Amino acid sequence: MEVALNEPLRPVKPDDELLGHFAASKTDLRWLRGLAGREFRRADSLRDERGPDAETKLDRSLRNMIGWLPPGNESSARIAAFNADIESMRLHGAEDAELVRQLNTALGILRVSFHDARAQAMALSSVGVAAERTLGLKPHPVQFSGARTLMAGRLAEMRTGEGKTLVAAMAATVVAASGAYVHIVSTNDYLAQRDCEEMSPLFEFFGLLGGFITGRMETEERRANYQQSICYVSGKELVFDYLKDRLSGHGRLPAKVAGLRSFVHGEAAKPMIPALHFAIVDEADSVLIDEARTPMILSREVEGIHEPVLLQWAIDSARGLKEGLHFRLNQASREVDIKQSALQACSPMPEGVRAIWRAETWRLQLLRQALAALHFYRRDQQYILLPGEKESDGLKVQIVDESTGRVMPDRSWEQGLHQLIEAKEGVTITKGRDTLARMTFQRYFRRYYLLAGLTGTATEASKELWQTYRLRVHRLPSNRPSQKKELLTLCFSDASTKWGAVADDAVRAATQGQAVLVGTRSVEASETLARALTARAVEFLVLNARQDAAEAAIVAGAGKSGRITVATNMAGRGTDIKPDAATLNAGGLHVILTEHHDSPRIDRQLFGRCGRQGQPGTVRVMVAKDDPLFMSLPAPLRALSTAGWGLRLLVRVAQSNAESRAWQLRKQTLLQDRELHRIIGIAGFSA
């Protein structure tokens, strides 16, 4: 995914040390490294940059085998024992100054003995009492154990509704009080700002300051927020700001970038990101797995090599080609196999086009991209059309993040694909982009001294999390038994029948007094259901990429009795839908899943919106045989969907295949990124 760089670049002599400025600090970081064997992880980062010679294939294979082990489980007995240690501190009646002193005392012990359970209990007890005084939130035993897990550099899998926001804040407070910089990585700007504002009173109690980053912030405001002890920021903003710092000379600098004449003369300003000490990744599977499919690319506008007339020729020609005769589509992998006969079916290329495009190889490549734009990228699914900032801009193609359902402003597809989609939609074609820097999430997050994470759905991805990030999953039980009920799964012959039945089920539950949340995979699906509900003359709200500005208000009211909310994945992660008393009395929040996702983790996230903290709730699956996930399977296998056991088997096979393809794609992305970095390293860096 690309983002434009509109800021001037500043030259500075790069630091030959790999981590350079980003790991430099006067803070004693020995206890951070010792908590989770961080010396190994930091060495891993060095190998990631300087080549695989430091580790043999056998070493890597043996370490990767750990990923095959099942995730660790925190027993109720161990949670109770740790909570007893916390209660034994008897700090509830202590003065505020005493709580601060106790935390500092605990940190002094932890710097010497990383795993001292009593010191951990002392630190978290102080923070827990402060949270109760400043936020009105009393941490329960599972939250204390979750914070302890984060401080050990692990990924804590906690059930949805267990209060992960407070868990991350408690762990961040302890580590930040030692002098380390802490980044709490959210899935989007809305959650980053919300969580920072909610948790800041806790940080301020201990003399710490919190900051947050949003996409519209200017450079100086970003730099000021990163300088705070604890900074909330989305993964994409964090990586792009890191790349901007590298382009400004903080870290090793590619010779290509060093030669640019757009630099501002004079001494470089301080980097935006002061250090990479400790990161807590909230909704870790979403950030580290789902959002890691494509590298983050920093680019600048240039005169594109694809003239508008050439792009229009490619789209018009692709529209005239016939599947089976001129090309074949692989829906599962989104690949186009184009035949030589396709060129004979195309109209002559327009006059004035550069000679390179008259070569057969390049024409076939351009047609392949045009076919992908036509058949794999659909409006209101992968992208939407929104008005530009200026009235004269007209409509613009805006990418929708498939894992979150949110618009990604200022992002574009590379290799001319974005411009081909613009030509397909008949909107103004934007300029091409020249890549200045790129990095994958996989390479970036391995650079922290200590990496930890939180999510409700990590078990399915535990192997990949270990092999890619050396991050072990640690499961914690729920604080209270779940009262959520799973209703009978329904499978319909086609999507049209399904949407009518979904609307009827939503109206039934709302009439009984429940609040209803209907989850859809795309903007198009949410608007199809909206038309079905409108035909039934009922009130409802829609939350998708078109209404993202109203997200907070819609989510705040989604738990009201009788309220029907239709939402894409925007309401699947990080959102806290609070049912009112009437809703709870009627059976709690009713969640309807209308289409299985490629990953069962995302399905579980949607189900987790109800039945939080022992509350009642109901979930129902309502799917159709022609859902895209099922259509990727052979016809004989799809026939099994008529029976309950057959449908479960079908879903498991389809999701397993989809996840396997996605993992292979992420592996390939990382390998390509490493190879490109190696080539750039051979080419040389500026001095």
Burial of 488 (0-12, 13-18, 19+ CB in 10 A): exposed
DSSP code for 290: G
The whole-chain average pLDDT of the chain stands at 82
| AA letter at 624 | A
pLDDT score, position 134: 97
User: Which tokens go with 177?
Assistant: 């009080």
Integer Cα distance of 407 and 382 in angstroms? 10
The top-scoring range by mean pLDDT among 137-146, 410-419, 608-617, 663-672 is 137-146
Residue predicted with more confidence, 666 or 507: 507
Burial of 28 (0-12, 13-18, 19+ CB in 10 A): exposed
Instruction: Provide the pLDDT confidence category of residue 44 given band limits of 50, 70 and 90.
Output: very low
Residue predicted with more confidence, 390 or 37: 390
Beta bridge partners of 620: 592
Does residue 677 register a pLDDT over 50?
Answer: yes
Does residue 48 register a pLDDT over 70?
Answer: no
**What percent of the chain has a predicted confidence (pLDDT) above 90?**
42
The CA angle 385-391-393, to the nearest 5 degrees, is 55
Does residue 265 register a pLDDT over 60?
Answer: no
What is the chain's length?
A: 687
- pLDDT tens per residue across span 509-546: 999 999 999 999 888 899 999 999 999 999 999 988 77
Give the long-range contacts of residues 471-474, CB within 8 A, separation 24 or more.
471/153, 471/154, 471/155, 471/284, 471/288, 472/66, 472/71, 472/72, 472/154, 472/155, 473/71, 473/72, 473/154, 473/155, 473/157, 474/71, 474/72, 474/73, 474/74, 474/149, 474/154, 474/155, 474/156, 474/157
Residue predicted with more confidence, 272 or 230: 230
pLDDT score, position 1: 55
Q: SS3 for 491?
A: strand
The CA angle 233-236-239, to the nearest 5 degrees, is 90
Integer Cα distance of 597 and 488 in angstroms? 19
By the 8 A CB rule, do 181 and 448 touch?
no
What is the distance of C-alpha 244 from the center of its chain?
20
pLDDT score, position 626: 86
Kindly give, in sequence order, each residue whose CB lies less than 8 Å from that of residue 238, ignoring residues fewer than 6 positions away: 183, 185, 213, 273, 444
Does residue 100 register a pLDDT over 70?
Answer: yes
Rounded to 5 degrees, what are φ and ψ at 71? Answer: -60, 150
Q: What integer is the mean pLDDT of 393-422? A: 82
**What percent of the chain has a predicted confidence (pLDDT) above 70?**
82
Rounded to a whole number of angstroms, the distance between the first and last alpha carbons of the chain is: 29
pLDDT score, position 60: 72
CATH number for 304-430: choose from 3.90.700.10, 3.90.1440.10, 3.40.50.10470, 3.40.50.2000: 3.90.1440.10
Q: What integer is the mean pLDDT of 582-597? A: 95
Q: Where are the beta strands (DSSP E) in 255-371?
A: 278-282, 296-302, 327-330, 335-338
Domain with CATH 3.40.50.300 in the chain: 2-301+440-475, 483-631
Domain with CATH 3.90.1440.10 in the chain: 304-430
Would you say domain 2-301+440-475 falls under CATH 3.40.50.300?
yes
DSSP code for 263: B
Q: What integer is the mean pLDDT of 621-631? A: 87
pLDDT score, position 174: 95
pTM of the model: 0.81
The per-residue b/e assignment along 172-208, b for 16 or more CB within 10 angstroms, e otherwise, is: bbbbbbbebbbbbbbbbbbbbbbbbeebbebbebbeb
Q: SS3 for 121?
A: helix
Q: What integer is the mean pLDDT of 195-218? A: 95
Instruction: Provide the pLDDT confidence category of residue 576 given band limits of 50, 70 and 90.
Output: confident
Kindly give, in sequence order, each residue whose CB lies less than 8 Å from that of residue 261, ignoring residues fewer than 6 positions away: none
Integer Cα distance of 515 and 588 in angstroms? 7
Instruction: Provide the pLDDT confidence category of residue 572 given band limits of 50, 70 and 90.
Output: low
Does residue 667 register a pLDDT over 90?
Answer: no
The top-scoring range by mean pLDDT among 10-19, 293-302, 534-543 is 534-543
CATH number for 483-631: choose from 3.30.230.10, 3.20.20.70, 3.40.50.300, 3.40.50.1440: 3.40.50.300
pLDDT score, position 659: 86
Integer Cα distance of 553 and 538 in angstroms? 20
Give which of 86, 155, 143 is closest to 477, Cα–Cα. 143
Lowest mean pLDDT of 39-43, 459-463, 472-476, name the range: 39-43
